[in-house]
């Protein structure tokens, strides 16, 4: 649904971390974001175009139609984790995120890149290179950055208790913390 003359649109293009995988509807950070916007009287409608299992290639192919349909003022790019879990080349992930940020900006949107990390069993070098690509994309495109959206969730002392049995997807009680990680970088883009 295109935005109305008065309202503004925030588009989230993500994977299962934003698509409420394993959660009851309304418990994920994106749904919590819509509630926070309402509480703070920020006139934005949130469109959650996240798909569990999506990669940066999938997001890149879907983005042009999403931009045309929703005409967002802000785009949150929360993709890359599935690329890493599938062992896809980091250069491809980076190129896809760069192109998504460029297309979003060309459509008039401000962009936030949500960074991710991989489990330590992927090796230190791969893990560091993967985490470094998110700030690199944000710098290159002048986008806002959340270095690690699961900070305090995946790397905190109670990490074991904050994840579903698959140890990949956070439980509902972790999603307010995820939103708290994203909010400081996102809020300035909403002005």
- pLDDT reported for residue 158: 86
pLDDT at 6: 57
For 149-177, write each residue's pLDDT tens digit: 999 999 988 899 999 999 999 999 999 99
DSSP annotation of 170 reads: B
Domain count, the chain: 1
Separation of CA 98 from chain center:
14
Q: How far is CA 166 from CA 36, 49, 169, in A?
A: 29, 23, 7
β-bridge mates for residue 170, sequence order? 163
Give the pLDDT confidence of 68-119 residue by residue, as tens digits.
Answer: 999 999 999 999 999 999 989 999 999 999 999 999 999 999 999 999 998 8
Tokens of 2: 């295109």
**Annotation says 16 is catalytic:** yes
Whether 125 sits among the annotated catalytic residues: the reply is no
CATH number, domain with residue 32: 3.40.50.1110
Contact between 159 and 167 under an 8 Å Cβ cutoff? The reply is no
3 band by pLDDT with thresholds 50, 70 and 90: very low
Largest CA distance in the chain: 49
Question: Quick one: pLDDT at residue 32?
Answer: 98
As a 3-state breakdown, the chain gives helix, strand, coil percent values, each rounded to 5, of 50, 15, 40
Average pLDDT over residues 10-30: 97
Which run of H or E residues covers position 11?
Answer: strand 8-14
Q: Residues 57, 129, 169, 180: which is the catalytic one?
A: 169
Reduced 3-state DSSP string for 98-156: HHHHHHHHHCCCEEEEECCCCCHHHCHHHHHHHHHHHHHHHHHHCCEEECCCCCCCCCC
- Structural domain contains residue 72: yes
CA distance 28 to 96: 25
| Residue 7 within any structural domain of the chain | no
Q: Does residue 6 lie within any of the structural domains?
A: no
Q: What is the phi/psi pair of residue 128, to 5°?
A: -65, -40
In tens, the pLDDT along 32-42 reads 999 999 999 99
**54 falls within a domain:** yes
User: Which pair of structure tokens corresponds to residue 148?
Assistant: 């690690």
In a domain, residue 9? The reply is no
Average pLDDT score, the chain: 94
Residue numbers of the domain that contains 108 = 14-190
Residue 41 lies in a domain: yes
Q: Is 129 a catalytic residue?
A: no
Note whether residue 46 is domain-resident.
yes
The backbone torsions φ and ψ at residue 186, rounded to the nearest 5 degrees and listed phi first, read -80, -40
Q: Which of the residues 15, 16, 54, 70 is marked catalytic? A: 16
pTM, entire model: 0.95
C-alpha to C-alpha distance for 114 and 77, rounded to whole angstroms: 6
Q: Report d(CA 152, CA 173) in Å as an integer.
A: 12
User: Residue 90 domain-assigned?
Assistant: yes
């Amino acid at each position: 649904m295109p935005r109305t003359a008065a309202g503004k649109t925030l588009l989230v293009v993500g994977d299962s971390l934003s698509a409420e995988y394993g959660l009851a509807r309304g418990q994920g950070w994106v749904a919590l974001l819509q509630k926070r916007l309402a509480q703070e009287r920020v006139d934005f409608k949130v469109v959650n175009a996240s798909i569990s299992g999506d990669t940066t290639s999938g997001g890149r192919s879907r983005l042009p139609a999403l931009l045309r349909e929703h005409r967002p003022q802000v785009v949150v790019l929360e993709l890359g984790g599935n690329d890493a879990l599938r062992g896809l080349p980091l250069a491809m992930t980076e190129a896809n995120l760069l192109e998504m940020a460029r297309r979003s900006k060309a459509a008039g949107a401000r962009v936030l890149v949500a960074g991710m990390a991989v489990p330590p069993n992927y090796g230190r070098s791969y893990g560091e290179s993967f985490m470094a690509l998110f700030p690199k994309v944000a710098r290159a495109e002048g986008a806002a950055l959340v270095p690690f959206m699961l900070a305090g969730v995946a790397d905190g002392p109670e990490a074991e208790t904050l994840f579903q049995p698959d140890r990949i997807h956070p439980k509902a009680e972790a999603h307010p913390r995820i939103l708290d990680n994203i909010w400081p970088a996102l809020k300035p883009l909403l002005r």
